[in-house]
Amino acid sequence: MADGSEKNAVVSNKKVIFKDYVSGFPKESNMVVTIDENLKLKVTDDSKNILVKNHYLSCDPYMRLLMKNQSTEIFDPYTPGAIRMPGLTAYGGFYEVCAPKKGEYVFVSAASGAVGQLVGQFAKLMGCYVVGSAGTQDKVELLKNKFGFDDAFNYKEEPDLNAAVKRYFPEGIDIYFENIGGKMLDAVLLNMRVRGRIAVCGMISQYNCDQPEGVHNLMSIVYKRVRIEGFAVADYYPQYSKFLDFILPYIREGKIKYVEDIVEGLENGPTALIGLFNGRNVGKQVVVVASQ
């Protein structure tokens, strides 16, 4: 803020407010868009506060968990830096938790999402065989033709997920990057290879369940000596500059592609957020709040 007059400017400020904690599948009507008309932008000269104007908002599945009336220990470290959260999530989760090796078989669920699309491309850079699952034929095509997955399938068209996973991985799975949970996890557990690794990034199929589905095939953990590990992007904040050094050259050279699903206007924020749970978004969901 350059001078006193700007500090005392009066502006309007649009907000998306949650009416109450949400149980079951969230609805747009759980939120209301309000406008504060006469918001004074006050920062006194001796204040250490700063004024921030948001240009973009990020919509991510984990935000559903913040709408529940229960605390978790994962979100305490949530801090700004987070606009590139999905990239760092994919980076930390794949390279650190999955410990991939060339030639391994990698399966990514919710693969066209903000994190999944990057995990698949990282796995290809590593020389792995990569299959992704998604919920529409368009997304399946995107995975194969834009992101370079070796194969992909629409899980909604598979009456038997176990058979589907087995068909795409006749030799079994070394690495499963888990974004879904529930029935997909059960199918994958039956198809893991010895010393396979499952990095649990999220379980979007469970976020809207008040009572989560049961997972039945956990004995595979013993039979196959499988490691299942949850992680949080906050664990990798110290590696953020290393991550940028890694990914920016690939993005500049076009070796890593990134698809965003951009919605204009904060008033469309609720629709964009709910759309994540219907799979309406294609790629990373972003809301443009201000164009300058």
CB closer to its own copies, 215 vs 244: 215
- By beta-carbon proximity to its own copies, the closer residue of 143 and 192 is 192
Q: Does 224 bind its own copies (CB under 8 A)?
A: yes
Regarding 74 and contact with its own copies (CB under 8 A), the answer is yes
Q: Does 239 engage in binding with its own copies (CB under 8 A)?
A: no
* Identity of the residue, 149 or 236, whose beta carbon is nearer to its own copies in the bound complex: 236
Cβ proximity to its own copies: between 20 and 73 the closer is: 73
Residue type, 280: R
- Cα separation of 26 and 212, whole Å? 16
185 near its own copies, rule: CB under 8 A:
yes
The token duo for 273 is 């957020």
User: Closer to its own copies at the Cβ: 18 or 223?
Assistant: 223
Of 1, 17, 66, 219, the one binding its own copies (CB under 8 A) is 219
Name which of 221 and 244 has its Cβ closer to its own copies: 221
Number of Cβ atoms within 10 Å of the Cβ of 106: 27
3-state secondary structure of 168: helix
Is residue 113 part of the contact set for its own copies (CB under 8 A)?
no
Among 175, 226, 272, 276, binds its own copies (CB under 8 A): 226
- Please report how many Cα atoms fall inside a 13 Å half-sphere around the Cα of residue 247, on the Cβ side: 22
Q: How many C-beta atoms surround the C-beta of residue 187 within 10 A? A: 22
Measured from the Cβ of residue 243, the count of other Cβ atoms closer than 10 Å reads 18
Please give the backbone phi and psi of residue 187, each rounded to the nearest 5 degrees, phi first: -65, -40
Q: Does 21 bind its own copies (CB under 8 A)?
A: no
By CB under 8 A, which span of 195-203, 245-253, 263-271, 274-282 interacts with its own copies? 195-203
Whether residue 193 contacts residue 208, with contact meaning beta carbons closer than 8 Å, is answered with: no
CA 210 to chain centre: 21
Considering only residues 34 through 73, tell me which ones interact with its own copies, judged by CB under 8 A. Answer: 72-73
CA atoms within 13 A on the CB side of 1: 19
Question: 98, 197 in Cβ contact below 8 A?
Answer: yes
Among 201, 273, 276, 282, the residue binding its own copies under the rule CB under 8 A is 201
Q: Which stretch binds its own copies (CB under 8 A): 38-46, 137-145, 157-165, 224-232?
A: 224-232
The owner of tokens 């004074």 is: 40
Of 95, 213, 267, 288, the residue at the interface with its own copies (CB under 8 A) is 213
146 close to 166: Cβ distance less than 8 angstroms = no
Q: What is the nearest approach in angstroms of its own copies to the Cβ of residue 227?
A: 4
> Toward its own copies, which CB reaches closer, 3 or 73?
73
CA distances from 16 to 13, 21, 76, 155, 201 (A): 10, 14, 22, 33, 26
Taking the least distance from each CB to its own copies, the nearer of 218 and 251 is 218
Q: Considering only residues 32, 83, 218, 248, which one is a binding residue for its own copies as defined by CB under 8 A?
A: 218
How far apart are the C-alpha atoms of 241 and 260, rounded to whole Å? Answer: 22
**Interface residue list for its own copies (CB under 8 A):** 72-74, 181, 185, 194, 200-203, 206, 211-232, 235
